Structure 1
Amino acid sequence: MKNKIVEIISKELNIPADDLLSAGSFRTDLNIDSLDIFQVTLIIQKEYGISINETYDTVDELVKLVDSNEK
């Protein structure tokens, strides 16, 4: 699942997957703004058929949210 999420973010925001995986924070390390995060959230929700109402700032946090909402 993590690889798929990284692939989606990488494609949508044109950021290399390695940068996403090595970054600590979307906002601080990658300068991704809230609109970009919103855009990614919409795509992830559609892809996985879930609703994400919590905030996240890292790939790992997003993966945990998707995982917990799928169950």
Structure 2
Amino acid sequence: MTKKSETKAPALIAWQVREAKGGKAYWTRIGAAWPHQSGDGHTLQLDLYPLDGRIVLLPPKADEAAEGGAA
């Protein structure tokens, strides 16, 4: 069964951000989020579960929005 929210482009992209020595940050796309129809929240689908670092949610760039779907 395909959820209606998963057939549209995601509203947010989930990224894992890990800090390395020297202040460099490594960003890995790990999922996406779609808004609820009621407008009061989002459904988050993570394809990877990070053990360290932090998760950042950002709107997709134009080329990511055109792809649609999860990470």
Return the structure number with greater strand share: 2
Which protein, 1 or 2, shows the higher relative CO under an 8 Å CA cutoff with sep ≥ 6? 2
Shared fold (TM-score greater than 0.5)?
no
Return the structure number with greater helix share: 1
Greater Rg, structure 1 or structure 2? 2
The alignment's TM-score, normalised by the length of structure 2, stands at 0.27
